[in-house]
Structure 1
Amino acid sequence: MKQLIVLLAITPLLLSSCTAVSPETQPTHEPANHTHLNAKPKRPNHPRSTAAAEQLASVISSNEKAWRDYEANIPSCNKAAEGVTPDDYIQTMGCIKKAQIASELARSATTTILGLGSPPPELTVLVARTVKALQPLSESNAARFCQDAISNPCARAVDQIDLAATTLVDVLDQWEPYKQPK
């Protein structure tokens, strides 16, 4: 019984020596600083800022003529592609080159638009539509596939651009209120 009393007497001493004292738990006798508990989290510094409507509209305006001209010439390009004369072949080659340019402009515009950051709230839907309309042109691979202008992969790549051009022009019309007067 004597051993039990001694054991009970020294148990609190043993347990207290097992508790580690860290700087967070060590008493300081200074007033507690709880401001970090109520502080608002800092916003992370993102390289992407909110894109201004003027910047976005500028990207569209700088490429718009090429896209509209391409779309307007689709019927004559299709007619030339069906032809058999040297003039038809020359016109077809020019049409393929314009398709490649339209594709490259779409790829560049998409990169620029996405690089500008989040659009203003009033343009969120229009920017999403624009990027979606540019996507088929960007992904057409006309530059790669049209090394052989008479190949089926080239024809499919150009057809992909042709089909997307009409949708893109419809979206371009929606940018009219945001463009700067010339």
Structure 2
Amino acid sequence: MKQVEDADILEKFSDSKTRNEAFNLLLKKYQQKIYWHIRRLVIDHDDADDLVQETFIKVWNNLEKFRSDSQLYTWIYRIATNESITFLNKQKQRNNTPLDEVSGELEQSLVASSYFNGDKLQLKLQKAILSLPEKQRLIFNMKYFDDLKYEEIAEITGTSVGALKASFHIAVKKIETFMLNEDITF
């Protein structure tokens, strides 16, 4: 099946007769990528599902206002990222929990999740990623898992490319240290 172009989706969305078809094409193209982006941030499958729905509701409500001064998927990633960060901040505030403890709760959720089917090494990598500060974790996930270019991440996060490269490098070093020093038995 041929991948539909963003310009075609936007053109179809601008016509009320083909708006639903356009949104279905957009969902087919981006829903799985957005799910995994959010899931790596919030860990829990059910929370990720809810946030994907919230993200695409915002996309639906605001797609007419999309100005095409950025790429469509970076715009959607920005919405998904903001929804995830807002969710994590609410979780932190609701429980009056410091961020490092929220990471601990996310780690517990990961270990207990029936949706996680990785081996011990993958679990260790996820724990290492969860040990990163929020911004480094976000940047690492976008670069490593989503394979986004620094310019795209800069557009999504509003951070300079130089700062992103530094954050990614520091995140990689922290993960390497974690992987070398952490016992792999659970």
Higher-RCO chain (CA-CA 8 Å, sequence separation at least 6):
1
TM-score band w.r.t. shorter chain: under 0.3
> Would you tell me which structure has more helix in proportion to its own residues?
2
Name the TM-score, length of structure 2 as normaliser: 0.23
Q: Larger radius of gyration, structure 1 or 2? A: 1
